[in-house]
Amino acid sequence: MRLHAGDSGAALGLNVVMLGPPGAGKGTQAERLAERRGLPRISTGDILREAVQQGTSLGAVAQQTMDAGRLVSDDVMIGIVQERLDQDDARKGFVLDGFPRTVEQAAALDRMVNGRGPLVVLDVVVPEDVLVRRLATRRICGSCGATAAVDWKQSCEKCAGQLVTRVDDSDEIVRERLKVYQRQSKPLVDYYAARGTLRSIDGNRAADVVTAAVNQAIDEATGSGLPPKGGSREREA
Ligand code: AMP
């Protein structure tokens, strides 16, 4: 796989982008990957939800758009990510979850990572009927926002907060979000595929199997030589 940056990335960071529709499991996989590689996971959805919860001006701008299942403007999102990537902990690399979501955001990200090491793009693919089913049953913690694993039952494993349904996981809004994904975010797959920086991961499997595939894809993409921890070889897009 040809990486985007014009260098080997040996002394540079590992910059990962997770693509995929809502419900594909990007959040879980991004969290596991970030932990394993000692990188910050940057979820733009989490940043926006936090802003809403704290009642900041960003939260005020974002809430209605998020509740309707539409995308917050490129200008706002690019500003948020630029600021986050400028922080020290992101210098060694990052796992981006939920950004970019438009080709314009992807072009801005290219400018931000220029000279900071290769960009590895993972596209987590799950059939639409499975996504709809997953989102209908998804619960998050109403206090800290963590996504609940199937066996959490009543309360959050991390902070014991009450589990709730995300406003934007309601039937009607899910359909809108999937439409928005097809229209605005799917073109990203072509954007990255044309450059050869993309790997497709079958996300319709048990989370641990997907995690193994993600790690293998990263190892292969970066030529790091870390032994893969199981899972099947993924398709190079
Ligand atoms: P997520 O948690 O990633 O599903 O994001 C929840 C919502 O936040 C989305 O439906 C959008 O309204 C908004 N959002 C998150 N990331 C972005 C982005 N990169 N561009 C535009 N809107 C975003």
Determine what percent of the chain is predicted with pLDDT higher than 70. 89
Q: What is the pLDDT of residue 168?
A: 87
Q: Sorting pLDDT into bands at 50, 70 and 90, what band is 2?
A: very low
Q: What is the pLDDT of residue 235?
A: 56
Is residue 40 reached through a cis peptide bond, with omega within 30 degrees of 0 on the bond before it? Answer: no
Q: Which residues of 174-201 are buried (b: 16+ CB within 10 A; e: fewer)?
A: beebbebbeebbeebbebbbeeebbbbb
Domains, in order of start, for the chain: 8-127+186-222 (3.40.50.300)
Pocket of ligand 1 (CB under 6 A): 22, 44-45, 48, 65-66, 69-72, 77, 98-99, 101, 105, 168, 177
Q: What pTM was estimated for this model as a whole?
A: 0.85
Q: How far is CA 4 from CA 113, 131, 195, in A?
A: 10, 30, 7
Would residue 49 show up in a list of annotated catalytic residues for this protein? no
SS3 122: strand
Q: What is the pLDDT of residue 195?
A: 82
Host H or E run for residue 103: helix 103-113
DSSP at 69? T
Determine what percent of the chain is predicted with pLDDT higher than 90. 68
CA 65 to chain centre: 19
> What is the tens place of the pLDDT at every residue in 58-105?
999 999 999 999 999 999 999 999 999 999 999 999 999 999 999 999
Average pLDDT, the chain: 87
- For residue 197, the one-letter residue type is T
Residue 7 has pLDDT above 60, yes or no: no
Would residue 101 show up in a list of annotated catalytic residues for this protein? yes
> What is the tens place of the pLDDT at every residue in 133-181?
998 888 888 888 888 876 777 899 889 999 998 888 888 999 999 999 9
- To test the pocket of ligand 1, the residue of 41, 43, 66, 177 to mutate (highest count of ligand atoms within 8 Å of its CB) is 66
Q: What is the pLDDT of residue 236?
A: 54
